[in-house]
């Protein structure tokens, strides 16, 4: 039973109870009785904390974590070769990318270098290892779905209201990682197709 159907059923039961109480009041009944709880199949009362159930069955978590919305970043993907980069170090090739002056992070270099073919992000008709896909995107127009990088301690994540450092979730309409949950390099799944949700 879906959550919406459960809500509709609960609403209907509560409404019926209120109408019944109103009808008794309108009839002038002085009869006052204590009514016990009514079991509804498929529903389980949640405990007062932690979102666990008092018995087996579906529950609704007591708290939920808010997830910041994704933002669209569009422009030409550039490899930002700063003075600290060592051109002979393969890790440095995948550390610094920018789009319109915004630093974009596709994941740790170690993961990028070892990630298998995920999706055809560069649109050349072949899904290649992820590092090759990124190489194919350099100098090309891209549309990214990204989130402000909360873990970046090097500078302010926002200069005024301007976004300056983001983690990438979707590349040209194809998912790189889920919008919530762990990233692929942290043991999370690699989504296929467009980003869901």
| Mean pLDDT, the chain, integer | 73
Q: What is the pLDDT of residues 12-60, one digit of tens each?
A: 666 666 566 555 555 554 555 555 555 556 555 555 444 444 445 454 4
> Is the separation of the CB atoms in 170 and 118 below 8 Å?
no
CA distance 78 to 141: 10
Question: Residue 124 has which token pair?
Answer: 């050349």
156, exposed or middle or buried, with CB in 10 Å at 0-12, 13-18, 19+?
exposed
pTM: 0.59
CB atoms within 10 A of CB 76: 13
| 23 in any annotated domain | no
| 159 in any annotated domain | yes
Rg (C-alpha) for the chain, rounded Å, is 26
| 9 in any annotated domain | no
Q: What is the pLDDT of residues 54-77, one digit of tens each?
A: 445 454 454 555 667 899 999 999
How many domains are there within the chain? 1
In this structure, what are the phi and psi dihedrals at residue 180, rounded to the nearest 5 degrees?
-145, 165
Q: Is 130 helix (H, G, I), strand (E, B) or coil?
A: helix
| 58 in any annotated domain | no
| 66 in any annotated domain | no
| 94 in any annotated domain | yes
| 77 in any annotated domain | yes
Q: Give residue 15's pLDDT.
A: 64
Domain assignment of residue 77, given as a range: 71-186
Q: Report which listed range, 39-43, 102-106, 189-193, is most confident.
A: 102-106
| 135 in any annotated domain | yes
In this structure, what are the phi and psi dihedrals at residue 45, rounded to the nearest 5 degrees?
-65, 140
> Is the separation of the CB atoms in 170 and 70 below 8 Å?
yes
Rounded alpha-carbon distances, angstroms, from residue 150 to 59, 68, 137, 158: 31, 10, 25, 10
């Amino acid at each position: 039973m879906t959550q919406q159907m459960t809500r509709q059923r609960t609403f209907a039961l509560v409404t019926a109870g209120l109408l019944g109480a109103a009808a008794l009041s309108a009839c002038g009944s002085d009869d006052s009785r204590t009514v016990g709880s009514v079991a509804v199949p498929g529903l389980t009362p949640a405990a007062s904390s932690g979102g666990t159930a008092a018995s087996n069955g579906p529950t609704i978590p007591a708290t939920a974590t808010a997830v910041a919305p994704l933002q669209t970043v569009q422009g030409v993907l550039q490899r930002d070769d700063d003075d600290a980069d060592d051109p002979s170090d393969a890790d440095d090739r995948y550390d610094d990318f920018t789009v319109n002056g915004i630093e974009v992070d596709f994941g740790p270099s170690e993961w990028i270098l070892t990630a298998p073919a995920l999706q055809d992000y560069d649109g050349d008709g072949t899904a290649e290892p992820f590092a090759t896909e990124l190489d194919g995107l350099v100098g090309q127009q891209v549309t990214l779905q990204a989130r402000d990088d909360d873990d970046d301690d090097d500078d302010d994540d926002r200069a005024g209201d301007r976004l300056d450092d983001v983690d990438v979730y979707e590349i040209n309409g194809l998912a790189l990682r889920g919008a919530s949950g762990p990233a692929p390099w942290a043991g999370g799944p690699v989504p296929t197709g467009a980003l869901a949700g």
